[in-house]
Amino acid sequence: MEKHFKTKPINENDSWSLNFLYKNPIGRFILKGLIQPPLTKVAGAYLNSSLSKAMINPFIQKNELQMDEYEPMVYRSFNHFFMREIKPEVRVLSQEKTVLSAPCDGKVTVYPISADQTFKIKRSEYALSELLDSTSLAQEWQGGCAVIFRLTPDDYHHYYYIDEGTILAQQEIAGVFHTVQPIAVHNEPVFSRNAREVTIIETNHFGKIAQIEVGALMVGKIKNLKNSGGCQRFEKKGWFEFGGSTVILLFQENQVTIDPDIWSNTENNLETIVKFGQIVGKKAGGQA
């Protein structure tokens, strides 16, 4: 497997504004208004307008984006820029089908799915049945693992299928948008309240999996390209519009072996930094 992973402390992105919104009583009152659908629609309309283009260059500079990695184009709006396409040659995609490649850019943690249907994500416990909106479905993943990819503004915000397979079901679960930054996870049940989409896939090499996309504060819109039929390894599944976002992969017991460095980093309160296509595991019992 690929080694030499970079890491970052899970709490590194906590900011003054997030502390205010989530820990200050006045801030939490303001947040209740910010996350309501009418305001998110207004914000979305602005980010889709030409007026928002003024945000692009400051965003590039603040996040130190390497724009030579992306397809050159003229952006119509900030949201158009946020959904920018990366050059295919920038991401290395393994042709070995028994290895698990990251479905997106992100900061990764991994957790066992416990018998009591809860698991930890960045210092908080979440019921798997609440995340999936189904108690019976949650039972199918007991003993498996949850791999969490937290996307930040500097990441490429498109995500892909990890294997060939068949889409068995897809569900959209409504919710209010909360930031997925770590401080929010500590103070709010973020993954159970955010809007999310759950796709159940019967894969050729990793058994039945669930791939979950979670929206974020303000617009955080999830755009999946299809909800049925077959899928191919490294086929684009969809993308996020503006807002930090999260992709979660659920694996059933004895189906996958996640790189031990990622397990170790998570246990040491570190996120592992990966790019789309980077090897993060392998089929259980397989070679990588």
Transcribe 36-82 into DSSP letters.
Answer: SHHHHHHHHHHHTSGGGGGGHHHHHHHHT--GGGB-----SSHHHHH
Residue 251 and residue 240: Cα distance in Å, rounded?
Answer: 23
Phi-psi region of 68 (alpha: psi -120 to 50; beta: other; left: phi over 0): alpha
| Predicted TM-score (pTM) of this structure | 0.84
Catalytic residue (choose from 105, 155, 163, 259): 105
- Amino acid present at 69: E
Q: Is 124 considered catalytic here?
A: no
94 is catalytic: no
Going across the sheet that includes 236-240, the strands are 158-160, 236-240, 222-224
pLDDT in tens, the chain (288 residues): 445 688 877 755 555 555 666 666 766 665 666 666 666 677 778 888 999 999 999 999 999 999 999 999 999 999 999 999 999 999 999 999 999 999 999 999 998 887 675 655 434 456 788 888 888 999 999 999 999 998 888 899 999 999 999 999 999 987 665 566 666 666 655 554 677 899 999 999 999 999 999 876 555 688 999 999 999 999 999 999 876 688 999 999 999 999 999 999 999 989 999 999 999 999 998 654
What distance in Å separates the CA atoms of residue 247 and residue 249, rounded to the nearest whole number?
7
Q: Which of 52, 77, 124, 245 is catalytic?
A: 245
pLDDT for res 192: 45
Distance CA 268, CA 122 (A): 11
Q: Closest Cα to residue 220, out of 257, 251, 184, 270?
A: 184
Strand 118-121 relative to strand 208-214, pairing: unpaired
